[in-house]
Amino acid sequence: MAHFSVDVLTPYKVLAKNLPADSLLVPTSSGEINILRDHTHLVTKLDIGPLTIFGGPDEPDRSFVVTEGICKVMKHKVVILTQVGNEASNIDVDRAMASLTNAQNLLKTESLSPYEFEEATQKVERARLRIHLGETYKGKIQ
C-alpha cells in the first residue's frame, strides 16, 4: 500500500470516506502541517483553513474548507473531524459572497458581545476561504 486513507467528517455528514492519499496539508492551530505515509501518530487541533488531499498519480487531488475540529493521524488512516466543512467542488460562490456581506455588516454592529464579535469574525474568515477555494476550483475546470 503506497498511500494512506483519509476521512473528512462533520457532525452532520460525511464529506469524504477512505480517500486514498499520498500526502495531506492540514490547517492546525499551530500552523499548516504536511502529513505523509507512516507519519507519527498525532492528535492536533484544527483551525479554519484549506485542507488539501493529494491523491497521487492515480487519484485526483481534493480540497476542502474546514473549521475548528480535530485531526487524528494513525498508522495508515487520517480522520478529520470538523465542525463545518465543504469540498471545493461543492462551494456555491454566490452564497459565500452573500455570507461574507452579512458577516461584515454584522461586524459593524456596535452592540456585539465579545463572543458575537468572535463568531462574526470567524464567519468572515470562512466566507473568504470558501470564495477563494470555490473560484480556484471553478478556474481549474473551465
The CATH code of the domain at 91-141 is 1.20.5
Asked whether the predicted pLDDT for residue 71 surpasses 50, the reply is yes
Contacts of 60 (CB under 8 A, 6+ apart): none
With cut-offs at 50, 70 and 90, classify the pLDDT of residue 23: very high
Superfamily of domain 4-88: F0F1 ATP synthase delta/epsilon subunit, N-terminal (2.60.15.10)
Kindly give, in sequence order, each residue whose CB lies less than 8 Å from that of residue 27, ignoring residues fewer than 6 positions away: 46, 47, 48, 49, 50, 51, 66
Strand, helix or coil for residue 15: strand
Domain ranges of the chain: 4-88, 91-141
Q: Report pTM.
A: 0.79
Let me know the angle formed at the C-alpha of 17 by 14 and 18, rounded to the nearest 5 degrees.
170
72, amino acid identity? K
Q: Which of 5-19, 61-75, 107-121 is least confident?
A: 107-121
Contact 130, 96 (CB under 8 A): yes
